Amino acid sequence: MGTIDLSQTDITSANAMIRDFGHDGQDVEIINPDARHNIGVGLVDPITVKVRGSAGYFCGGLSHGARYEIEHNAGWAVGDNIYSGSVVVGGNAGAIAGVAIRGAEIVVRGNMGSRAGQVMKAGTLCCGGNAAFMAGYMMYGGRIIILGDGAAKVGQDMSAGEIFVGGKIESLGNDTMIVDMDAAERDEIMEFLERYKMNYKGDFTKIINAGKKLRYANQEPRARPQPFFVSSNSNNYWNPKVQEDIWIKGEVGRYRIRGYGASKPVPHLNDIAFVKDVASRQYKPEELQDVNLKTTVGGRYGAKPLSLSMPVMIAPMSFGALSRSVKIALARASRLSGISENTGEGGMLDEQREEADQLIFQCLSGRLGWNVKDMQRADAIEIYISQGAKPGLGGQLMAKKVTPELAAIRGIPQGIDLRSPSRHPDVLGADDLVIKVEEFREATMHKVPLGIKMGAGRVNDDIKIAYKDGFDFVELDGLQGSTGAASTEVLENVGIPTLAAVQEAIDGLKEIDAGDDMDLVMMGGIKDGVDVVKMLALGADCTSVGTSAIIAGGCIACMQCHVGTCPVGIATQDKEHEARYDIDLQSQNMHRYFESLRWQIASITKALGYDDVHKVSRDDLVALTPEAADITGLPLLSEHPSLHEPELGLELLDRKAG
């Protein structure tokens, strides 16, 4: 057995040594652990790791197949997200023991902290002592065995799985019920306890989901298509979209859920313009090839950055919201155009991994489809905090889309109206996020860039936190960002416009002298290469396109994404509908669309007088409206110095003046 002394070794080196022992099939003991975080994270070999003392946060987290024996206590999130293997804690465990496990066996001989087994999908979490409040919070499956008492709200918002409590139960959570257990179940539990040498002879109370809140009482009706571009382009307050909203609310009697983003006028990139005399600059078409558009994202801490052929990414969109075929087509188009694809919430598909050269793997609060093996084959990792379409809320996937195949990859019961949690179990503040960042770094051996996806709320503060918490890049999504399903209240009204978001981000980073080492990727209403260049001139390092990509790839923008019977096979999991989607054709359409962006970006850059798109700056821009000037601090057209100094030769302005 190998030995690692944590009083002599930092955790990153220790984990590398543990992996080496694992590779050789040799067990390892950790001495002087002294409650340090992230011990044994990311191990994928079936060895035994003995921790001679107490472990800190995330011990054994994001591992696969290994066995951990912690002699004393464990901190928060012991055994985070394990697919197979086991963790035995000799003493007490902190909050969220066994969070998001998908098959592991976690045994805590003492007491365990609050929210144990949060969003777990499968496997067994067993506690010899008492469990603090909300044991089994939002669990999707698996089994929790508590030999002592269960504190308040046992099984709060659980969707499936079973909780067995030996002692007293202070109170039951929402939508749970007590049912009889049969002899076979008891035999299985006793066999489990015996295997882990836990002596218990008493009875159990069995708690399961009562099934009253898994589905909305009234489902979303299929409305007469009210296309996005119709509903966006009309009176701001009385328009066909409002009319449709009222009809649907009259039918379902609650908030309405729909796809797409905010469809109302807000200050955006079309309210600013380029300020140079574009027409007088002559160049030959072939010169465009020499304009540098190459963009790297995520090199801040020495990980291998994403290497993009232009400052464009494909926005995160889930397998779930979108069909498998669309995810494959997006991945292929990203490869053909040399940009990156993003998994979104629903896990990574093998075909998607094969098609995409550069794939970002996104981690959401429900940890749906999240696992260490896919992390280790991703080109970047992104922690989702929120998105522009619905800042502060979790994703929604209506039952029609939660098919057996989809339920399997996500690890959830099929046929429920899936409402993902709005918060990460282990990120309740910027301080916890620091430790989570470290866990992900350890699990990926510090090799892949780590990003954070944020909806635009209080950007000025959030961007500073992202910087201080050590992210390589930020994907920042304005109010206009779209979704597969969200309530109209948040879609239309929560968050700040993309234009304001980029400005706040730039200002915030400047306020803390952050320099430019953390890359800023802006999204939310980027519709063409012109927008891309404007965004870069405002200070972004890269952009991300979602809505425009799928429109190029066949979406008719009918806003019925939530219904699940998408007429063009995009936002559906129904095989018959999906069969209408032609992967070859649509991936080529998207590829050609991306190439049109490339041409636009290159020609504008050239026309502005640069040989590198990253040289464009705020000096190249002017605000066309007082609102845009106010938001961005750019000079307003009527006050621009070139109006008063004709030698600056602004053709646009000359014409206007003349």
Partner 1 sequence: MCGIAGILYKQAGTHEIGKTLIEMLDGCQHRGPDSTGFALYGEDKDQLQLRFIVPTEENARNKATDNIASLLARHNATIESEQSVGCSYQIAVNFDGDLLAFTKDIEEHAKLVSVGHTLDIIKDDGTAHELDSTYHVGEITGTHGIGHVRLATESAVRPEAAHPFWATGFEDIAIVHNGQITNYWKMRRRLERRGFTFHTDNDSELVAVYLADKLKQGETLDHVLETAIADLDGTFSFLVSTPNEIGYAKDNLAAKPMVLFETDDMIAIASEEVSLNRLFPGQSINSTEPAPGTFQTWARSI
CB contact at 8 A, 99 and 139: no
Which helix (H) or strand (E) segment is 244 a member of?
A: helix 240-252
**Range in contact with partner 1 (rule: CB under 8 A) among 86-94, 222-230, 266-274, 580-588:** 86-94
In the shown chain, the binding pattern of residues 140 to 179 toward partner 1, with x for contact by CB under 8 A and - for none, equals -----------x----------------------------
190 is a contact residue toward partner 1 (CB under 8 A)? no
Residue selected from 245, 271, 438, 472 as contacting partner 1 according to rule CB under 8 A? 438
Exposed/middle/buried for residue 515 (C-beta within 10 Å: 0-12, 13-18, 19+): exposed
Of the candidates 21, 57, 137, 319, which one interacts with partner 1 according to CB under 8 A?
57
The DSSP bridge partners found for residue 124 are: 105, 143
Q: Residue 461 interacts with partner 1 (CB under 8 A)?
A: yes
The DSSP secondary structure of 402-451, one letter per residue, reads: --HHHHHHHTS-TTS-EE--SS-TT-SSHHHHHHHHHHHHHHTTT-S-EE
Contact with partner 1 (CB under 8 A): which of 279, 428, 579, 585?
Answer: 428
List Cβ neighbours of 179 (8 Å cut-off, separation of 6 or more).
206, 207, 208
If the CB atoms of residues 458 and 575 are measured against partner 1, the closer one turns out to be 458
464 touches partner 1 by CB under 8 A = yes
> Is 136 a binder of partner 1 (CB under 8 A)?
no
How far apart CA 487 and CA 291 sit, in angstroms, is 43
Cβ-based nearer residue to partner 1, 464 or 580: 464
Element (H, E) at 103: strand 102-108
Whichever of 355 and 462 has its CB closer to partner 1, that residue is 462
Of the pair 23, 458, the CB lying nearest partner 1 is at 458
Of positions 114, 239, 318, 325, contacts partner 1 by CB under 8 A: 114
Name the helix (H) or strand (E) containing 163: strand 162-165
Q: Which of residues 21, 76, 204, 593 is near partner 1 by CB under 8 A?
A: 76
Count of residues touching partner 1 (by CB under 8 A): 42
Residue 37 near partner 1 by CB under 8 A: yes
Alpha carbons within 13 angstroms on the beta-carbon side of residue 487 total 14
Touching partner 1, residues 439-458 (CB under 8 A): 458
With CB under 8 A as the contact rule, the residue among 24, 34, 287, 651 that binds partner 1 is 34
Cβ-proximal residues to 421 (8 Å cutoff; 6+ apart), any chain: 119, 138, 365, 366, 394
CA gap 608, 574 in Å, rounded: 48
Q: How far is the CB of 115 from partner 1 (least distance, A)?
A: 8
When binding is defined by CB under 8 A, the residue of 42, 61, 85, 94 that contacts partner 1 is: 94
Q: Pick between residue 432 and residue 574 the one whose CB is nearest to partner 1.
A: 432
Q: For residues 279 and 608, what is the distance between their CA atoms, to the nearest angstrom?
A: 10
Closest by CA to 582, choosing from 325, 244, 287, is 325
Strands 162-165 and 86-89: unpaired
Query: Residue 117 contacts by C-beta under 8 Å, 6 or more apart in sequence?
Result: 96, 97, 98, 99, 101, 125, 135, 136, 137, 139, 142, 144
403 exposure class (CB count in 10 Å sphere: 0-12, 13-18, 19+) = middle
At closest approach, how far in Å is the CB of 199 from partner 1?
A: 21
- Cα–Cα dist 437/451, whole Å: 9
Closest contact distance (angstroms) between CB of 114 and partner 1 is 4
DSSP string, 564-593: SB-TTSSSB--HHHHTT--HHHHHHHHHHH
CA within 13 Å, CB half, 224: 6
Assess contact for 473 and 540: CB atoms under 8 A. no
Q: Which is nearer to partner 1, 7 or 280 (CB)?
A: 7
The rounded distance, in Å, linking the Cα atoms of 39 and 198 is: 25
Among 238, 429, 576, 658, binds partner 1 (CB under 8 A): 429
Start-end of H helices in 496-539: 498-511, 529-538
Binding region for partner 1 (CB under 8 A) out of 28-36, 181-189, 323-331, 573-581: 28-36
Query: Least distance in Å: CB of 514 to partner 1?
Result: 12
Least separation in angstroms between residue 317's CB and partner 1 is: 30
Task: Report if residue 35 touches partner 1, rule: CB under 8 A.
Answer: yes
Work out how close the CB of 434 gets to partner 1 at its nearest, in angstroms, rounded to a whole number.
Answer: 5
Residue of the chain from 50, 72, 527, 618 that contacts partner 1 (CB under 8 A) = 72
Are 23 and 47 in contact, with CB atoms under 8 Å apart? no
The answer to whether 449 and 298 are in contact (CB under 8 A) is: yes
Q: How many angstroms separate the CA atoms of 107 and 279, rounded? A: 71
Measured from the CB of residue 22, what is the shortest distance to partner 1 in angstroms?
24
Closer residue to partner 1 (CB): 408 or 512: 512
CB of 35 or CB of 208, closer to partner 1 = 35
Under the criterion CB under 8 A, does residue 618 sit at the interface with partner 1? no
Within residues 492-511, the interface with partner 1 by CB under 8 A covers 511
Q: Which positions from 238 through 267 interact with partner 1, judged by CB under 8 A?
A: none
Q: Using the rule CB under 8 A, which residue among 39, 95, 147, 266 binds partner 1?
A: 95
Build a one-symbol-per-residue string for 511-550: x at contacts with partner 1 by CB under 8 A, - elsewhere. xx--------------------------------------
Q: What is d(CA 288, CA 301) in angstroms, rounded to the nearest whole number?
A: 33
Rounded CA separation 88/72 (Å) = 10
Of 68-76, 206-214, 334-342, 533-541, the segment contacting partner 1 by CB under 8 A is 68-76
Q: Which residue, 75 or 553, is less far from partner 1 as judged by CB?
A: 75
Task: Kindly list the residues in this chain that would bind partner 1 in the complex (CB under 8 A).
Answer: 7, 31-32, 34-37, 53-54, 56-57, 71-73, 75-76, 91-92, 94-95, 113-115, 132-133, 151, 428-432, 434-435, 438, 458, 461, 464-465, 468-469, 511-512
